[in-house]
Structure 1
């Protein structure tokens, strides 16, 4: 056995885990109801596999939430590199944050139920989103594009209007208009 090799069983377990989370995210975008049977069927795994990975619906809901947040946060460095500070802010708000917020109505209801059962949302997830916004603002401030002292929390509150986008409308235009409005409010000079 070579150093760093991963057994095919472990790789299969990781693929199943990710497939279950992806299917559950789609399922929860439409409904707050968690059906392990429906999720297992769409993920192409047995229902026992779902229960092995996520013993309770709350475990699954919180894992989906953390996965979605991780995807939202992990893209920021790539956006900064590819688009520069101003373009990264716009791309993150319109192509990543808007779809994340717009499609989370079912997940939001499921999260409310899960946190009522468990306590609170994982604090690290909320902080990760703030940190991502802070990284975007810091890059823009250092580039002289955003005035110093703009608070990430304030900008996030300003973008909460993205929650009201309707996926069946011209949401891309509306997201761009909202991001542009916020951008003009934080811009330097």
Structure 2
């Protein structure tokens, strides 16, 4: 894979109140669909607004990942995730109960909506997903695509007079289990 390895740098404060690096975390990838898709959970929060005092957020993040109970969205919190898509991957149409920011870091992606509407996003483009049914397809047959997603829990989404819940199209996946890419 031609995409460079990733590292997360988590900051904190020393006893004098100065900013320090608390920890350096190399990406830990979970692979799916015969290695055509890989996730790295960069960070999670379990409340909003988040409590940064006494490193409560770091402990909550570590506890959530080690519990194996993280799903696509963290109820009452946020999930920051990097997703790598293989060349020519197939789009899985899905909906999360969340407000998501999807940022293209490398490559080009086709965003597909269940209405049939599509748009091509390039490096630096941002999709703001508001509880909609959508999918992502890497437009390249030779290059990997990398996106950054921040998912925030939201109140139930209403459309057409009904509540729209999470819909993963039958693809339940364990997102907190780690395996090297």
TM-score, normalized by length of structure 2? Answer: 0.28
Structure with larger Rg: 1
Higher strand proportion: 2
Higher helix proportion: 1
